[in-house]
Amino acid sequence: MNIFIAGLSFKVNDSDLASIFEEYGTVSSAKVITDRQSGRSKGYGFVEMDDEASEKAIAELNGAEYDGRTISVSEAKPREERPRAEFSGNRSGGYARNRY
């Protein structure tokens, strides 16, 4: 099961996240999501574990405090397809000049 964790301290890294969940079972993967440009944590991440361990971890860690922050832990929802942006012909960066 894929678990979503929100409210993480910006100092938490992948191995810290894995160690939080390892006491509930074997962690397949742990990933803190980072900003592409700055490399800084966005304050949330994902952990994959087997279903039984996941349910116990979610029940016990949701609302728990870690590194001075209250974390929110839940089952991750599948990512939805987002429609691609349609261009309306004006490609001037959002500001169209009047041409008289």
The string of DSSP letters for 33-98 reads EE-TTT--EEEEEEEEE-HHHHHHHHHHHTT-EETTEE-EEEEPPPPPP-PPPPP-S--SSS-PPP
Angle at 11 between CA 9 and CA 16, to 5 degrees: 90
CATH number at residue 21: 3.30.70.330
Tell me the whole-structure pTM to 2 decimals.
0.77
Q: Each residue's pLDDT tens digit in the chain (100 positions)? A: 999 999 999 999 999 999 999 999 999 999 999 999 999 999 999 999 999 999 999 999 999 999 999 999 999 998 787 777 665 555 555 555 666 5
Is 14 among the domain residues? yes
Q: How many domains does the chain have?
A: 1
Domain assignment of residue 48, given as a range: 2-75
Angle of helix 14-22 versus helix 51-61 axis, rounded to 10:
100
* Tokens read off for 24: 């509930």
